[in-house]
Amino acid sequence: MKLSVQDLNSHYGPAHILFDVAIEVGDGEVVALLGRNGAGKSTTFRSIVGLVAQRTGRILFEGKDVSDQPTHAIVSRGLGYVPEERRIFTDLTVDENLEVGRQPVRPNAPHWTREKLFALFPNLAEMRNRPGGRMSGGEQQMLTIARTLMGNPSLVLLDEPSEGLSPKIVEQMVAAILTMKQAGVSIVLSEQNLHFARLICDRAYIIERGRICYSGTMAELDARPDIRDTHLAL
Amino acid sequence: MAFYFVQFLTGLASAASLFLVASGLSIIFGVTRIVNFAHGAFYMLGAYVAFTLTERFSGALGFWAGIVVASLVVAVVGVLVEMVLLRRIYHAPELFQLLATFGLTLMVQDLVVMIWGPNDLLGRRAPGFRGAVEFFGQNIPTYDLFLIALSPIVLGLLWLLFQRTRWGVLVRAATQDRDMVAALGVNQKWLFTSVFALGVFLAALGGALQIPRDAVHHALDLRIIVDVFVVVVIGGLGSIIGAFVAAVLVSELNAFGILIFPKISIILVFLVMAVVLIVRPWGLFGKQEAPARRTPGLTVNPWRPLSQGERIAAWAGLAVAAMLPLVSGDYALTVGSEIAIFVIFAASLHFLMSVGGLASFGHAAYFGLGAYGIAFLAKMAGLPMIACLLLGPLLGCLGAAIFGFFAVQLSGVYFAMLTLAFAQIVWSIAFQWVAVTGGDNGILGLWPEKWAAGPASFYWLSIGIAALAVAALRIITFSPFGYALRATRDSLLRSEAIGIDAKRIQWTAFVIAGTVAGVAGALFAYLKGSVFPDSLGISLSVDALVMVLLGGVETVSGAVIGAIVYKMLSIWLVSQTDLSKLVLGGVIVLMVVAFPKGIVGMLETLRNLRRRSEPAKPALLKSRIEGAE
């Protein structure tokens, strides 16, 4: 088991956001976390990497309990995180953004170099010295993913990678994520867009109002239009 | 012509130390978001340690090694400070960080005198740079030329460090988004520590390099820190190139100001800073900041007017205070009057910073203006005391109206720095305009008229006015104006979106606070029988901040309690120990770290805890917030 989240409860101040969330990800698996806006997808990810101060529960990464560790320690074990808001360092160039993400090589994870990443995202190769603030939304999204991959993670939490991107860039994104999958990176992907998830994922969890309310393979989910209508349709 | 050129070079040489210290402050602020008030203390420590080491090590090598080793030693001290103190307050509001580092400054002042004594120390001349170069009949010390060459070299090295090393890239990334840097697996703790170490090293180096030019003494810290604040504010907080340009600008203004406008040389620099801040609030090379962080937990205990019981308790407290003359002697009554005056002063600052969210670091300006107002009216116009008391504070009101108009254009640390600068302008005027203000000698012989001359009657007058002032500020706090003011404090954008003219509301609050501070100053002038520039000084401004903090920034009645406790404590301390700054500084640091809610805040928390343990939370509240992400 790559990642096992058990009984995760999170709060922002007095507000209780996540209720007993449980998620499991196998080695090399790509899992979707589906849910509407505000269902708790981003909070789940932020809680896993320790960016939410008030949380309880167990987070086992590669069999080790990391729930008491600070963010940087969790991430430098090989648990990469790509935030929804992208959070590119706008004053830094593409190369420098990648440098911030660079971590030592890990034996159990694919090794990414700048060259490999530029092959994965050809747009970035042409703008190595451009400041992050002068890139389009799609280019920034590619850069955030590339930046996280520079840490050679064995698992990546991808928060809504298709959000706000043009269909053409979404296609590139699908191809890039599939390449990551083939390289052996486990992925948890949060999405509102079932179509996008179907192209990439093996299994799916559905989260609503901070609770996991369904889990199954993509095929099983496709066979249950009622579930889709209740929990995902707008 | 040659004379002006030499003056120009002297200015450049002075810019070197200023640049070193300012760049250190800027680097630290960029990453940690802390405006390190203690930077002047590290500068001074650098000078003292370098003095000792260069005396100990002989020869040219000994001198230069002494300078470098001294800077390293102080940097290690800085690392300890960062690990023990600052790590605990990175997420605290800016005001707390400024106060904690100011507390450190106070402690260092006493420690330095304990270790090196109170006398000025004259250091060694720099080996190899003892002579002077003649230039059209004017002598330029070669050491000045060395310093002039040094700053661009340091600037270049810093540029290389930040642009060409992984550490520099990480620091620049953390300057922008430190949580994201952590989310990429970088341990920011050590990043912060190393940044702090570099900043302190630069400050200490700036101090160490001054010993061949200047005597080492224990007031170096405040002298440099005000200049450095001016430099980083003009250059832009967080910008190294800005620190360089502004250091040169400020030093040249000082060098030529003395020649061209000797009368206003001190305020010239502050005028330039005020102009820069008004035109470009984020400095010449700075970037516009995101809105200031909200104080966590500020709204946990909603404010409410006094309950019936509390109102009775307040009246009873006032009645007990009014009976003091029946039981105690003249000294206690004088102390009591002083405490009452500081209650007014602290309450006025509380109104500005807790109700209005505008933490002023120069509130003493309006206190002092009120005091000088009395002095002018009584000594020059010869008005009766009642008329003086009514009109004197208007000078504070006028000052607050002028400075407040500019200050409320800013917020956060920039607001704090601008108010500090304005207070320094007023202080400089009082200090330099000897013909009118008497300068350092002050204005003497301001005694109250007969009806208020006795200690008991003056005491009753003071607590009466204090009670009125506190009640008036409370009424304003819970008036519609007070609600609007609190709305601008909690969210400027949202309050403007519902039609509140935020700047006008804040300006009005500033004027109210300044006027009430002027009332306190007016009484203070009569209590002491004299007025000195000290009444406008930084330390008085900080006293007021500490009073509010001690009582509890987030409470309504904290300022009153804080002023009483603080004033009693400090009067007692001064009588008990010579190391009052050390103890006071320690108390400030301890308070910020361990009791950030202050006395009243802690009492309220205790009471709420007891109350909360009885009924469970209402279920409605829970279900309503669940949906939010």
- Give me the domains of chain B, ranges plus CATH numbers: 2-279 (1.10.3470), 328-602 (1.10.3470)
By C-alpha distance, which of B295, B294, B304 is closest to B608?
A: B304
Task: Pull the structure tokens for residue B377.
Answer: 């009216």
Q: What tokens were used for B155?
A: 């600037």
Which residues on chain A are in Cβ contact (under 8 Å) with B179?
A: 51, 71
Of the candidates B30, B81, B409, B97, which has an alpha carbon nearest to the alpha carbon of residue B232?
Answer: B30
Paired sense of beta strands A3-12 and A54-61, if any: antiparallel
pLDDT digits (tens, 9 = 90+) for A119-157: 999 989 999 999 999 999 899 999 999 999 999 999 999
CA B206 from centroid of its chain's CA atoms: 22
Using the Cβ of B185 and the Cβ atoms of chain A, whether some distance falls under 8 Å is answered with yes
CA-based nearest residue to B110, from B47, B50, B52, B45: B45
Contact call for B625 and A209, based on CB within 8 A:
no
d(Cα B45, Cα B225) in Å, to the nearest integer? Answer: 13
Question: What is the percentage of chain B residues whose pLDDT exceeds 70?
Answer: 94
pLDDT at res. B20: 95
- Order across the sheet with A64-65: list the strands: A15-25, A3-12, A54-61, A64-65
Q: Give the integer Cα–Cα distance in Å for B627 and A208.
A: 9
CA distances from B469 to B51, B97, B361, B388, B561 (A): 51, 29, 21, 17, 15
User: Nearest-CA neighbor of A84 among A115, A126, A26, A41?
Assistant: A41
Cα-based distances in Å from A72 to A47, A50, A96, A172, B68: 13, 9, 19, 29, 34
Query: What is the average per-residue pLDDT within A96-123?
Result: 93
Q: Inspect the interface and report whether the beta carbons of B628 and A17 lie closer than 8 Å.
A: yes
How far is Cα B229 from Cα B283, in angstroms, rounded to an integer?
12
**What are the phi and psi torsion angles at A211 (to 5°)?**
-125, 140
- Judging contacts by C-beta atoms under 8 Å, the chain A residues touching residue B173 are 89, 92, 96-97, 100
- Residue A11: in which H helix or E strand, if any? strand A3-12
- How many helices (H) and strands (E) chain A has is answered by 10, 10
B621 touches chain A (CB under 8 A): yes
pLDDT of amino acid B380: 82
The beta-carbon neighbor of A209 closest among B172, B182, B627 is B627
Model confidence pLDDT, tens digit, residues B55-78: 998 888 899 999 999 999 999 999
Distance CA B378, CA B391 (A): 10
Q: Which of B376, B534, B560, B371 minimizes the C-alpha distance to B468?
A: B560
Interchain pair A101, B184: CB under 8 A: yes
Searching chain B, which residue's CA lies closest to the CA of residue A37? B629
In this structure, what are the phi and psi dihedrals at residue B306, rounded to the nearest 5 degrees?
Answer: -60, 145
Q: What is the dihedral of CA B422, B427, B429, B434, to 10 degrees?
A: 180
CB contact under 8 A, B185 and A14: no
Give the residue from chain B lying closest to A76, CA to CA: B185
Q: Are A225 and A53 in contact (CB under 8 A)?
A: no
- For residues B563 and B473, give the distance between their C-alpha atoms in angstroms, rounded to a whole number: 15
Chain A contact present for B241, CB below 8 A: no
Q: What percent of chain A is modeled with pLDDT above 90?
A: 74
Do B95 and B361 meet the contact criterion of CB atoms below 8 Å apart? no
Phi, psi of A8 (to 5 degrees): -75, 120
Query: Closest Cα of chain A to B207: distance in Å?
Result: 32
d(CA B242, CA B182): 28
Q: What one-letter code names the amino acid at A153? A: P
Look at residue A217 and tell me whether its pLDDT is greater than 70. yes
Structure tokens at B133: 């170069």
Q: Which stretches in chain B have pLDDT values below 70?
A: 263-264, 266, 289-302, 611-629
Count how many residues are written for chain A.
234
Of B284, B482, B524, nearest in space to B389 by CA? B524
Question: Which residues of A are less than 8 Å from B166 in CB distance?
Answer: 99, 102
What is the amino acid identity at position B567?
K
For strands A186-191 and A155-159, give the pairing.
parallel
Q: What is the pLDDT of residues B557-567, one digit of tens each?
A: 888 888 998 88
pLDDT of A35 > 70? The answer is: yes
DSSP three-state, residue A86: coil
Query: Would the CB atoms of B183 and A151 count as touching at under 8 Å?
Result: no
pLDDT score, position B621: 36
Write down the number of H helices and E strands in chain B. Answer: 30, 4
3-state secondary structure (DSSP) of residue B198? helix
Which residues have CB under 8 Å from B249's CB, separation 6+?
B234, B272
**For B101, phi and psi rounded to 5 degrees?**
-70, -30
Summarize pLDDT for B572-607 with one digit per residue, the tens: 888 887 887 888 889 889 888 887 777 777 787 787
Interface pTM (ipTM) of the complex? 0.92
At residue B625, the pLDDT reads 32
Kindly identify which residue of chain A lies nearest to residue B181, measuring between CA atoms. A100
Dump pLDDT digits (tens) for A148-199.
Answer: 999 999 999 999 988 888 888 899 999 999 999 999 999 999 998 888 888 8
Task: Match 């994201």 to its residue by tokens.
Answer: B180
- Candidates B184, B620, B621: best to mutate against A (most CBs of A within 10 A) is B184
Distance, first Cα to last Cα, chain A: 34
B629 to chain A: closest CA residue: A38
- pLDDT higher than 60, residue A207: yes
Find out whether B465 and B523 touch, Cβ atoms under 8 Å: yes
**Token pair in block for residue B568:** 């009693």
Residue B65 to residues B57, B126, B208, B458, Cα–Cα distance (Å)? 8, 12, 11, 61
Closest CA to B40 of B196, B151, B203, B195: B203
Cα separation, B429 vs B263, in Å, equals 9
- Residue B289: per-residue pLDDT: 62
Q: Cβ distance B26 to B240 under 8 Å?
A: yes
Structure-token match 């590290």, residue found: B42
> Residue B616: what residue type?
A
- Contact between B16 and B150 (Cβ < 8 Å): yes
pLDDT at res. B162: 93
Find, in chain B, the residue whose alpha carbon is nearest to that of A148. Answer: B184
Listed by number, the residues of chain B in 275-304 with a beta carbon closer than 8 Å to a beta carbon of chain A are: none
- Those residues of chain A whose CB sits closer than 8 Å to some CB in chain B are 12, 14-17, 37-40, 42-43, 49, 51, 70-73, 75-76, 81, 83, 87, 89-92, 96-97, 99-103, 147-148, 151, 209-210
The string of DSSP codes covering B545-592 is HHHHHHH-TTSSSHHHHHHHHHHHHHHHHHHH-S-HHHHHHHHHHHHH
What's the confidence (pLDDT) of residue A47? 95
Chain B residue closest in CA terms to A103? B185
C-alpha count within 13 angstroms, C-beta hemisphere, residue B347: 31
Q: Which chain A residues touch B301 with a CB distance below 8 Å?
A: none
In this complex, the residue of B176, B182, B629 whose CB is nearest that of residue A38 is B629
Rg of chain A, C-alpha, whole Å: 17
Report the residue of A71, A97, A99, A112 to disrupt the B interface, i.e. the one with the largest count of B CBs within 10 Å.
A71
Q: Mind telling me how many Å the CA of A101 is from chain B's nearest CA?
A: 5
H or E, element range at A60: strand A54-61
Task: Give the minimum alpha-carbon distance from B353 to chain A in angstroms, rounded to a whole number.
Answer: 24
Give pLDDT, residue B607.
77
In this prediction, residue B154 carries a pLDDT of 95
The predicted pLDDT at position B266 comes to 67
Q: Is B121 on the interface with A (CB under 8 A)?
A: no
Report how far Cα B443 is from the mean position of its chain's Cα atoms: 26
Round to whole Å and give the CA distance between B63 and B69. Answer: 10
- Yes or no, beta carbons of B183 and A75 under 8 Å apart: yes
DSSP codes of every residue in B406-452? HHTT--HHHHHHHHHHHHHHHHHHHHH-HHHH-GGG-EE--PPPHHH
Which residues make Cβ contacts (< 8 Å) with residue B153, sequence separation at least 6? none
pTM metric for this prediction: 0.85
In percent, the amount of chain A with pLDDT more than 70 equals 100
Q: B110: closest CA among B118, B102, B121?
A: B118
